[in-house]
Amino acid sequence: MKGYLELSPAVKAALMSGEPVVALESTIISHGMPYPQSVETALRVEETVREAGAVPATIAVIGGKLKAGLTNDEIEYLGNKGPAVIKASRRDLPVLVARGADGATTVATTMIIAHLAGIRVFATGGIGGVHRGAETTMDISADLEELGRTPVMVVCAGAKAILDLGLTLEYLETKGVPVIGYGTEELPAFYTRKSGFKVDYRIDTPEELAAAFRAQQEMGLGGGMLVTNPIPEEYSMDPVRINAAIDQAIEDSRRLGIHGKETTPYLLARVKELTGGDSLASNIQLVLNNARLAAHTARALME
């Protein structure tokens, strides 16, 4: 992997000395939020990880290199380039590397590169999942497949609320992925703390999260673990309001014929527009909250 994988000096030193490291995705920089809030948020997330006692490793493909740990200039580059950067999933990696191209990593690709680098914990906003209407479109995120095969713990605020949450949980069960609720028995719904669906297990401390993940890996069960961390109460949105915005956004996307990898960025942007920017503010806070928990859990894994 020496010809493909490139670790930043800080990430390389942390891994060699046994310090906790937290992987962070880059699609949120180029596709998930508007510029310049995207760059500001990415830097705040990195600082939040540091303040919680771990080393951040924002992951991307730049110039054909699988990079774990970006400079501030590289983060600025991805944010400024925005959607012109390819939204890179597993299928895109061979061509991007061969062409020496850039790619902003999804949850799936961030998991792959984190695992190659030896990073075991990854914080993001929300995972992809089974899209509404998937019984006819077969639109199912590669994130779920990656969780079933790659041994990385993913800390998120649940699956994105634009998805079919019930079917997403069913798919994860089929793949053997433990879905953990941090301090809750109910699956968070990204912008809100509750969805009406139950998680597999409730865990209340980073130490117990670390113990469960360590046991999973030591038993050779394979695959990852999904930790769903509810958005803080003060930033949770009104369920009626946010669900109305999501329904409208989905209706608009169907009318416009938007599908595939363009669906999620469009829906998130449209929901932001329909909520007057409130959904973006909530999105930022839940990512910071997940980064803190991931850092504490990565520290516990080192003990």
Which residues are annotated as catalytic?
25, 160
In angstroms, rounded to a whole number, what is the distance separating the alpha carbons of residues 289 and 61? 25
Asked if 124 and 25 count as a contact pair (C-beta separation under 8 A), the reply is: yes
105-to-31, 89, 268 alpha-carbon distances in Å:
10, 6, 17
DSSP letter for 33, please.
S
Q: Which two tokens stand for residue 109?
A: 């690709």
Distance between the two ends of the chain, CA-based, in angstroms? 28
In angstroms, rounded to a whole number, what is the distance separating the alpha carbons of residues 106 and 111? 8
Q: Which two tokens stand for residue 54?
A: 């771990």
**What string of DSSP letters covers 219-231?**
TT--S-EEEE-PP
* Cβ neighbours for 221, distance < 8 A, ≥ 6 positions apart: 176
In angstroms, rounded to a whole number, what is the distance separating the alpha carbons of residues 260 and 143? 13
In angstroms, rounded to a whole number, what is the distance separating the alpha carbons of residues 31 and 18? 33
Amino acid at 246: I
Torsion sign across C-alpha atoms 2, 302, 45, 232: positive
